[in-house]
Each structure stands twice: as C-alpha cells, then as structure tokens.
Structure 1
Amino acid sequence: MASRGDSANSSQLSPASSQDAGGASPGGSVPLEVSVVVSVLYPPSRPAITGYDEGHALSEGDTLNLTCAVGAANPRPRLSWHKNGLRISPKDTTEEVVLNAPSTGLSLTQAVTATRQEDGAVYECRVNTSLFSRPLASDVTLSVQYPPSNVTMTGPQVVGSGNSVTFTCVTSPANPPANVTWTIHGSLNKKSKSAVSRGPEGGWVTTSTLTYRVARSSNELVVRCMARNAASSSPVTTSKSVQVIKTPKPPVVEADMKGTVVAGTVLDLTCTTHGGHPPRQVKMFKGEEQMDIEVEEDENVTVAHTAITVEPSDNKAKILCEVQNPASQEPLTGHTTISLFFPAWEVKGWVSPRSVEVKEEVTLGCETSPSIPPSTVTWHSGGATLEGATTRQYPGKYGGTVTSSELRVRPLADDNGRVFSCNANNGLGVTVSADLVIDVLHGPRWVEVPSPVLDVEEGRDIIISAIAMANPPPVRYNWRRGEVDLLSTGISGGELRLYSISRSHSANYTVTATSARGSESYAFFINVLCFVYHESIEIDSELCWINMQENPNRVIYKLINGIMIAKKIKNPIFRDNLHLRVVQSSSPSTTLRMNRNLVRNKINKIKKYKSPSFEPRRAFRVLSVFEYLLIPGYVFPTFPVHSYGTFTLILCWKKAKGDINNC
C-alpha cells in the first residue's frame, strides 16, 4: 500500500510466478521489468505560530518575529500573513523551507515592532492548498502596553459661591487603563468616580467625574486632573481655573439733600454696594438717561459717584442704580427720588378787555410757572402796592404749583398807558414779573396849559403852548379870542404865536382840543402891561444916585395892590458895584419887607442894612434899607409893601465897597 512517503517515488515490480510458468521467450535469455510512479496527495496540517505568547504584554518599542510553520503536504501549500484581516505584502515576510526527512515542511516569518497601534492587532497566518476550498488559518492577538498621551477636562468656567460643580476628565486610549486622580488647590481629592471603556481604535479610555461644593470664601477654584498607568514614566495632566462668582448686596443710592435743594445747585449722588465677585458693573440713571459716573473699589465695597446740576424738571426724578455681575441673572437695583425747591421762572400776563372805556372795569391777570413752594403774587403800579386781587393755585409741571392772580380796576383817562406790575416770589430769592399796560379810551385831557392870567409887556412877542392827550389820537387844536377864531399863521398845533403885543391883545382866550372821542376847552386872560421908558440910562462917574421918583422916565415901575413892581430898564449901562437901594421914609410904624423868594437868579448878592442914622440928601428919616448888588441884564425884584407910605427907589453906583452913605 502507498503512503505519504511514497509519493513521487519509483517502484520496481517483479512478475508473478504464474507469469514465470510460461517459460522463457524464444530467446530465453532476457527478463521483463515494469516501472510505475505513484503520487500520493495529502493536505497540510493547521499552521502553528511561534514567536509570541498570547496574553504577554509588550512594551512600546519591543520587536518580535512571528513565524507561521506547516508540515509536509502534497501538493505544496502557500503561506501568507494577514493583519486585522488585511494581507501583508509578501515583501515584508520571510519564507523558509524546512527539510524533515523523508518529508518537507514550510514556514513564513513576519517581523513586528510593538506600538500603541499594534495593541489588539490580530496577526493571522493562512495556508492555502488546492485540496481545500478554504484556507487553514491560525492567529495571535498582540497586547502592547502604552500610557495615555493626554487627558481632557470639561466643566464650567464660573461657579456660584456655595454651589456644587462637576468636572469630568477623559483620558486618551491607554493600555492598561489609566488611573485618574484629582487635586483642588493642590490638595488630593479622593471623591471622584471613574469608568473604563474600550477605545474606538483600541486601548482603554478612562472617564473620571468629580463633584465638588465650592466654599463661600473662595473667589477662584483651581482644579487639576492627572492620568497614568503602568506604562507611564510620568502622569499626563490638565488643569482648569474656575471663577467663583458671588452675588453682591443690593445697592444703596444716596443724594446729598441735606437742607433745601434749590434748582440750579449741584447735587451729589452716590451708589454703594457691598460684596460680590468678580467686581461689580455699576450703572446710574436719571429717569431713562444714563449718567457718567466715577467708580471706586475698596476690598468688597464699590462706590459710584456723580454730580448733576438740578433743574425744575428734575423734581421727583428717579435716580436708579443698577449693579450686576455674572452671579446675578438680573441687575440688582436701588433708587432714590429727588425733591427740589424751585422758584417760578416766568410770569405770563394779560389784560381783558384789551381796550376799555373810562371807568369801565378791566381785568388784569397773570399766571406764574410752577414753583415749590407756591409763589405769592403782588401787584404794583407807580411805586404803590395794590390790594384786592383774587388768587388761586393749582398743580403744575414737575410737582410744582401754579399761582394765578387777577386784579380788577376801573381806570380814568389819566390811567391810559399806566403800567401795572405783577410780581411773583416764593421766598427763594428770585422775583419774576410781568408788566401790563392798560389802554383807556378817552377824549382830550390837558397836559400843559398857560396860566389863567398872562401879563405881557407891550411890544413883546409871545408863544403860548397848550398840550392835550387823547386815546386814540390825533388831537386837533382851535384857538379863539373872545368869540373870534384865530386862523392866522401864528397858530401851529398846540402853540399860539403873538407878535408885537399891543393893548388890543388884552382879552379872554380859549383853546379847544378835539379828538375822535370828544373835545376839551381851556380859557385864560392876556393882560398887556403898558409902560413908558427910555432906551438907556447914562450914569457918569460924578453921579452918585438917581431918585427914581424924581426921574420916573428912567425906570418901569407900577404899584399894584400895594406891591411895587420894578421892571427891567431897557439897555442900561452899568458899572461895577451898581446897587439898588430902597429907602422907606414914612411913618415909623411902617415896615418894608423884601420877598427874597422872588429875587431872580440874575442877582448874585443880597445885603440888608439897618442904619437909623443914615439920612439921604432929601430930609427923610430912614427906617430900613435893603441893598442889592446887581449885574448887567438884571431884573428888578418885586417889593411887597404891607402898608402904604412914601418910599424912594434909588439906583446908584457905589464908588467904594461898603460906602453906603455916599449913595
């Protein structure tokens, strides 16, 4: 019988004895031989892999040769290496024929360097032969130890004070699984929990979770995560700094409102808040308007400052302070309300009706802008305070009070154009006012008229004025002498011009003013004074005196109702120290008194002498002497005489000062 050892061998077979009985061939000398080659087919055995003991842990960098060997087989099989199901290129393998008499075996070697990528790799040796439809195969799985290359931490960036926070650390794949430890502020924390899972590409992933309650005193949390395994020379680490946030206390808003805050002054505002971390963001608002502020921080106290110049519109304004940091979901607020005093800033006035008849009632009204406290309204006209006004008050803008006042009057014609002042004051040192002017409709009323009796010297020119006012204007004037209208060119409005007065001008005169609302007349008398006088008086150096009674043509004088009226001498020639002496020489009981108030400003010196021993050239006893120093262009004063008697007017030139007796 053939065996696996006979395959491909030649065997010589001898004829059977029955064959030999036939005797020899005719030649009888040559035997017959037959050769047969027998090939026996048999399959290979399952391949055996050597060079690695499965389960043995390799270290990164280790090298090994994996050898796949099979025994003799017929026909000769084909060997190949596969990694994770993929064939390895033949150039990366070494094939060797092993001779085992009487049969021959095969082996194929694969060199492998241990890396973390080789961990878990399956190396498979496959034997293919035509005897089988499927290859025979054997495999080994490598185990490579390697440390984690990194570790990542997840967790919040901020955490509220006193709250619990969770952090998670995840290692990169490692073999064996990495061990994770935690430290907080450098202190080891053993309260973490870990879980190990297979990595998507091999190795083991360690996930560690730490839950920690933050102390209220902390402002920052420093967390550190470390991972290592048996293959690690040093741990891989990661750390995280977490801000601990604290909610500040609600802010307190203060306004420096000590005493009375008056509009126009500067008001200091502060907003103070305590605690909180990180530093607080502070905003201040006046109503809806955000204000510029200055912020000061001192440890756990934050103070915001600002100052505003308050106006009436700021009364009852809300000052809001907002404080916010990451610990507060909504801003913390505090507020205060401004309380102001402010004066009225204007007064509006009116007159109703706008125009009024004489003695018809007219209402004067005024209304103040709002003020705190309410304003007091007073009425004034021509420096006098007016009473009787009615006042009412009602709420106004900015929380103030409006004061309204009305004054009713019945004006006369003279009140046309009269100014009434409405003054408002609330005690804050500010007075505002409005001036109201009334329009009184009236006929003419006299403003300027001549004297009832006008004494006019004969030959003089005279201008007589009369002025009347009316509302509405204009005013027309009509002059009459007796019953005769004066239509001469000498009339110009309110003036009557008369030239070269003669005795015929002595008469009663009337001037009439007429307007759209009526007329008014005024009567007066012109008294023409008729005198005789020379053009000049000559006084030479030898002449010491002039007796006015003895020289009546030298002076103008007249006795009216016991009053001596001496008038200006026309074109006199005077010398220095020219004097007028009045000497009364009748009964001793008669007294001559001088009315000094009637002395004109042309006389610059008055002297009074009482000299009983003085006797003039004429034999009259002197009772009293009044002496006047005169200057050129003088006008004689009037001399009231309270009892009739004989008196002498003497115009003299004194040669020496005080030389009265020589006159």
Structure 2
Amino acid sequence: MDKSSREELHLRIERVTLEDDGQFECQMLRPDEGPIRAAAYLNVIVAPKMVHFTNYQSGTMIEVNEDIPLNVTCAAPNSKPEAIIIWYVNGQKIEDGIQRWSSYNLNKTVSSFAALQWRPRRNDHKKVLTCEANHDDSSTQIRTNLTINVLYPPDRPRILMLSGDSFVRAGDNVTFVCVVTGGNPPPDLSWYLKGRLLSARYQYNIQTQETMNTYSFLAEPDDHLANYECRASNKKGQEPQTRTVHVKVAYAPQGVEMIGESNVRQGSFTVVQCRTKPSNPISRISWLVNGHPIPATVQSEHQQMHGFIAVANLTINTNEVMMGKHRLTVECNARNDEGSASKQHVIKILAPPLPPRISGLEDGIHLEGHVLNVTCEAHGGNPLADISWYRGYDKLPGARSSVSGDSAISSLSLTLDRTMNGQRLKCEAMNSALDEPLVDSKQLNVLFEPRRVMIRMPEGTRHQLIAGEEAKLHCLAAGSNPNAHIIWHFYPNGEPNPLIFTGETILNET
C-alpha cells in the first residue's frame, strides 16, 4: 500500500491471479464523521490457452462416409470470460448445425463448447474443418484444424466398345473399355462373365479421377448376347456399381445332328429329322437323297441363349426312291451368311430274299448208307438270308454256309438211314425283312433192303411135314423200301434146279 496523504491510500497488486478477482473495499475513519467506506471491483481476465477437439486429435485427417452425419465437438477450456467458438470449412463460416454450451469452474473460469453436426458431401473431400476460439477481452484468437477424408462410392461405370459397332463376326477382335469417374478411395474395377472374373487390371488417372479397365478377346459363338459385366467397388461388403454390355456375334452353324432309323423295310415310310447346332443368323436346311436335291421342307426355328437352331423333318417313301445296293444316303445341309455345315445319315433298306430252293435230290435213288449232299440257295434280300435245315421238327447241325454273288447258300451232308425214309427235309430262309421264314421242303425217299428173312410154320400147326399131306409155310421179310418181292425156291431131292413159286404176298405196314 502507498499512503500519499492522510486523505489517500493506494493499493498496488502485482502478478494478479484469479485469487485476486473480486471486490476490494477501502475504509477511512474520521473522528467527526465516523468510518467511510468505498468499494472497488477487480475483474481478472483469463485468456484461453488452447482449443481442441474432444473426440479427434487436432491436425489429423479423419475418414467420414458421404451423407453420414459427422458429430465434432470443440472445446476452449478455462477462460474468463468464456470464449466464443466459431466453425469454418475451408475458411467459410458455418452457421447451421451448431450447438453451444458452457461449463463453469470453481475458479470462476468458464469452459466453452460447440458441437457441430455436419453431413459431408463428396465435394467436401480434403476440405479443412476449423474450430476457432475468440476471446475479445484478451484479444485472443486460437484455431485448430481437421482435414476431412470423405469416403464415397464411384459413379456408375461407362462402357465403350473401341470398334464402335456391337455387331461382329466370330474370330473378330473385340475390345471393351470400362471407365469410372470418382470414388474415394479409387475403386477396384473388374470385368466378369457369368460370375467368372476375367480381368482385374486397371489404371487410375489422378488428374481426371478416372479408373479404366480395358479387356480384349476374340469373339466366339458363345459370346453372342453374352452379358459382359464391369464392376466398380471401393468398399468391402458394399454392393458394387455395375454395367453390362453384350455383342451380337455372327457365326456359321457349328454342326448338324440327324435322327432317324438305320434299318427300314422295303416299301415302308421313314422320317429323318435334321437339327442344326446354334448359329447366328438362323440357318436354312436343305436335303439331298442319294445325291439328288429334295424340295425344301418346313423348318421350325428356336432361339437359344447364344443363337438359333433350326429343325426339319423329311418323310421318305422307300418305294419312290431310286437306290443302289439296298441303301439310302440322306444328307442335311445347314447354311447361313457365315458358312455351312452338313451331315449324312445312311439307311439300310431291308428286303426279303426270294423263296429258297433245295437242290441235290433230283436223282431219285438214295440208298441207305449213302451220303446225301443237298444245297439250299436263297437269292437276293438285304441282308442275305440266314439258312437253317430241319428234318421234321429237328434242326440239323453241321450245315456249311457260303455266299455267291447275291445268294446265300447252305450245304448239308446227310448219311442216309431207313429212319429218314418218308421224312421231310426242310430249308428255312430268314432275314430282318421277314416276320416268318421262307420255306422249301422235300420228302426223302431212302431205299433199303430187308435186314432178314425168316421161314415159319403157321401158328397152330405141327412143326412136321407129312408126306402126301398139304403143308403151308410162311416166309417173313423185314421192312424195306421198296417192299420186298418174295420168291420161293424148292430143291426137291437135292436137285440143282429149283422149283420156283411166288406164293401169296401179304404186306404188314406196321
């Protein structure tokens, strides 16, 4: 204190602190007036020492998603009086979306807060968010900054075709260019076909902020109307931006399929179907039968995933077609502007043979024990006949088969015995053109002699001959063909010249 006079008293405070903030009172005593008081107030100004973000580190770059609200709180603590907080984006003051409040401290200072709610857009990428604390009483101004890294998806891809024409021919080179603008971070750009990755090689242009992926291939039939997809994505778990493109590929038919019978009986009808494999444009079907063109038939057309197929049926009357060697060659030709394809279908014509003929029995004398050589021949037919031999109902083994020209021949050797006499020797000719075999048969006439001759007395008579009485004798000859002719020779008294009698012949056919 400094007392200049009895009437003045000065108070000097050095190194003022917050503890000095408040009311000071000066009191004087006069004997005639009593005590006199006067008050003075000391307002201690405290400038803010710092300003900071409560949930982010000052001076850093923060990542935010586009259109997702960003909540940032800025604090200017321990000032007196309170500091005023102002928000800026790239130097432009923000007025909206700010909530302010203060917190009073026991030491009479005030902490100021300002919360900013803001929806960054993609054009806010790399902008600077500034929090400024102004303290007019101390002429103090403090700032702190954040840099905004706005994450946003790319634009939808654009696809260019370098040839400029979406119509190509098989074997042509096709180049697709997929371009995407924007996106933070720059997107991955890939080509896909039916979900299969084709190319993930892309380039990013910093100046234009464009990402580009170029894919080239040689057009094939399966590429016709196939959807080539370009996908752009810069965030895992997020649906990519996509765009598809397709080309129209012209190509020749890739082949022909024919369906029909391979074996047909002479005189019947048969249907042959021709089905083209895919082509673009549609193929036209024409027919050749044994090299001769046939008027075009009605064809049906069916669109497939990568082209068109055509189907036509041809009905053939085997009686109306000239053929050689019992076969028909049917050819189907499919053609469009890009080329052609063809295929042949061979039909075997099944024809019956002529009735078989047995030879070798022309000589009517066939003696028991002799070997009989017979031949059965069936002329013509397709295929040639299979020949079988039967005696009665029994099939005979050991036949020898051969082919002579257009005839099937079967030879059989039989050792004749008397049991074969009167039986029928049968030759059957069969092929796939017949439902029942064709037959020729001959009856066997086997000549054989009786095996024994016996002389007997009639039953019921004495086995004695009495002179002067009539006697009856039986001569029995076993079976033969032809029937045996019985002659009696008697040699009376041992004379060399016999007496010959024919007697009465009785046939027993049992």
TM-score (norm 2): 0.60
Q: Give how far 1:137 is off.
A: 1.4
State the match for 1:189 in structure 2.
294
| Offset of residue 320 of structure 1 | 1.2
- Indicate yes or no: 2:488 matched with 1:374: no
Matched, 1:72 2:182: yes
Distance 1:386 1:40, change over 3 A: closer
1:233-382 pair list within 5 angstroms = 235-253=340-358, 261=365, 263=367, 271=376, 273=378, 275-287=380-392, 288=394, 289=396, 312-339=418-445, 343-350=449-456, 359=466, 364-382=473-491
Structure 2 matches for 1:543-622, cutoff 5 A? Answer: none
Q: 2-side partners of 1:388 and 1:144: how far apart?
A: 109
* Aligned counterpart in structure 2 of residue 154 of structure 1, from 238, 259, 264: 259
1:228 alignment partner AA: R
Tell me the alpha carbon deviations over residues 409-428 of structure 1, each in whole angstroms, 9 at most, x when there is no partner.
xxxxxxxxxxxxxxxxxxxx
Distance 1:342 1:173, change over 3 A: same
**Could you tell me which residue of structure 1 aligns to residue 336 of structure 2?**
229
Aligned to 1:277, the other structure's residue is in SS state: coil
Cα shift at 1:184: 0.6
Alignment of structure 1 residues 1-12 onto 2, 5 Å: 4-10=122-128
Q: In structure 2, do the counterparts of structure 1 residues 339 and 11 end up closer, same or farther at CA, with 3 Å as the change threshold?
A: closer
- Following the alignment from structure 1 to structure 2, what is the Cα–Cα distance between the partners of residues 213 and 189? 13
1:121 is matched with which residue?
226
User: In structure 2, do the counterparts of structure 1 residues 324 and 134 end up closer, same or farther at CA, with 3 Å as the change threshold?
Assistant: same
Contact kept? 1:182, 1:224, Cα under 8 Å = yes
In structure 2, how many angstroms separate the alpha carbons of the residues matched to 1:83 and 1:285?
Answer: 72
Question: Does structure 1 retain, via aligned residues, the 8 Å contact 2:401–2:408?
Answer: no
Structure 1 pair 313–46 and aligned structure 2 pair: CA distance change class (3 A)? same
The C-alpha deviation readout for 1:435-472, integer Å capped at 9, x for no partner, is xxxxxxxxxxxxxxxxxxxxxxxxxxxxxxxxxxxxxx
Separation in structure 1 between the aligned mates of residue 482 and residue 142 of structure 2, nearest angstrom: 159
Q: CA deviation at 1:245?
A: 1.9
Q: State the number of aligned residues.
A: 378
- Aligned letter for 1:214? T
> What's the counterpart of residue 144 of structure 1?
249
Contact 2:450 2:477 in 1 (8 A): yes
Deviations 1:160-206 (A, max 9, x none): 1121122233444434444332211111223545445566x855444
Per the alignment, residue 42 of structure 2 pairs with none
Counterpart position of 2:279: 174
Q: Which amino acid aligns with 2:264?
A: V
Q: CA deviation at 1:369?
A: 1.9
Q: 1:195-223, CA deviations, whole angstroms, 9 ceiling, x for partnerless residues? A: 45566x85544444322111366322111
2:358–2:376 contact (8 Å) kept in structure 1? yes
- Residues 180/357 of structure 1: CA separation in 2 closer, same or farther (3 Å cut): closer
Judge conservation of contact 1:180–1:225 (CA < 8 Å) in 2.
Answer: yes
- Per-residue deviation, 1:139: 1.4
Q: Cα–Cα, structure 1 residues 145 and 298, in superposed 2: closer, same or farther, change >3 Å? A: closer
What are the equivalent positions in structure 2 for 1:33-112 lying under 5 Å apart? 37=147, 42-51=152-161, 56-90=166-200, 93-97=201-205, 99-100=207-208, 104-112=209-217
Greater CA deviation, 207-216 or 316-325? 207-216
Specify the alignment match of 2:313 in structure 1.
Answer: 209
Cα distance in 1 for partners of 2:291, 2:430 equals 32
> Following TM superposition, by how much is the alpha carbon of 1:272 offset from its aligned partner in structure 2, in angstroms?
5.9
Secondary structure of 2:508's counterpart equals strand
Question: What is the SS of the residue equivalent to 1:58?
Answer: strand
Q: Is the 8 A contact 1:192 1:211 kept in 2?
A: no
Q: Distance in 2 between matches of 1:298 and 1:12?
A: 111
Task: Classify 1:126/1:180 alpha carbon distance in 2 versus 1 (closer, same or farther; 3 Å).
Answer: same
1:44 shift after superposition: 2.9
Q: C-alpha distance in 2, partners of 1:390/1:213?
A: 72
Which runs of 5 or more residues in structure 1 are unaligned? Answer: 397-663
Whether contact under 8 Å (1:196, 1:205) holds in the other structure is: yes
Distance 1:252 1:84 in 2: 71
Matching of residue 220 in structure 1 with residue 334 in structure 2: no
Percent of pairs with identical residues = 23
Structure 1 residues 237-281: Cα deviation after superposition (integer angstroms, max 9, x where no partner): 2223322221133335467558x6463689786656555334334
CA distance, structure 1, for counterparts of residue 131 and residue 463 of structure 2:
173
- Report the aligned-residue RMSD: 4.4
Query: For the residues of structure 2 that align with 1:394 and 1:357, how far apart are their CA atoms?
Result: 26
Question: Quick one: distance in 1 between partners of 2:221 and 2:451?
Answer: 90
Letter in 1 for 2:257: T
- Structure number with the bigger relative contact order (C-alpha 8 A, sep ≥ 6) is 2
2:190 counterpart SS class = strand
